């Protein structure tokens, strides 16, 4: 991977435990870090974000090599991993911190995100109107260390075994068949 050519993207698609673990399996992704963006409090804690009062979303910040994996491929994975038609929730996870959101850095990235939304919606993967927010990137606050790689460290935790595990298996089957995953 060419460390001089790396780019970043930050987005939220529900619980970051699900999203982060999947993105870390992709070829061309150097890191996927769980954290918080879009709020009004500096350096929020998980407990504060969970109240919904800080305005933050649970997000993943992905550092990737665009010569290996494209922005469009990352968007395809993003829309595969969560239901972008659910406002402020993913399944039983309810609250603004679970919103579907893409944080863009400039107008060119905003245009690419708008195109990705249109492409995914036209695919019919999800029934209904997409509610994914497009928001100018401001700050990213890494989540507490225990959230990083959470599923890998806690696969038998009830939420992980009931929600995260099945999502990861579906992801691995689909993107594995496309040859997009790192060797295990």
Active site residue 160: no
Distance CA 65, CA 37 (A): 22
d(Cα 166, Cα 109) in Å, to the nearest integer?
A: 31
Taking the CA atoms of residue 144, residue 81, residue 27 and residue 170 in that order, the dihedral angle to the nearest 10 degrees is: 110
Give the strand pairing for 133-136 and 100-104: parallel
**Which of 51, 57, 12, 59 is CA-nearest to residue 39?**
57
CA 109 to chain centre: 16
Residue 122's alpha-carbon distances to 90, 113, 127, in angstroms, are 21, 14, 10
Residues identified as active-site: 15
């Amino acid at each position: 991977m060419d460390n001089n050519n790396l780019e970043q993207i930050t987005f939220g698609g529900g619980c970051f435990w699900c999203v982060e673990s999947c993105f870390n399996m992709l070829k061309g992704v150097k890191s996927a870090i769980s954290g918080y963006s879009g709020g009004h409090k500096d350096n929020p804690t998980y407990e504060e974000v969970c109240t919904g009062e800080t305005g933050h979303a649970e997000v993943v910040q992905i550092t990737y090599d665009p010569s290996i994996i494209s922005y469009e491929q990352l968007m395809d994975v993003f829309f595969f991993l969560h239901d972008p038609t659910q406002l402020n929730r993913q399944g039983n996870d309810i609250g603004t911190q679970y919103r579907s959101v893409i944080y863009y850095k400039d107008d060119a990235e905003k245009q690419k995100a708008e195109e990705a939304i249109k492409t995914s919606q036209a695919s019919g993967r999800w029934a209904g109107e997409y509610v994914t927010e497009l928001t100018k990137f401001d700050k990213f606050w890494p989540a507490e260390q225990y959230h990083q790689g959470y599923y890998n460290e806690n696969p038998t935790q009830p939420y992980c075994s009931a929600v995260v595990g099945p999502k990861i298996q579906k992801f691995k089957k689909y993107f594995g068949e496309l040859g997009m995953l790192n060797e295990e």
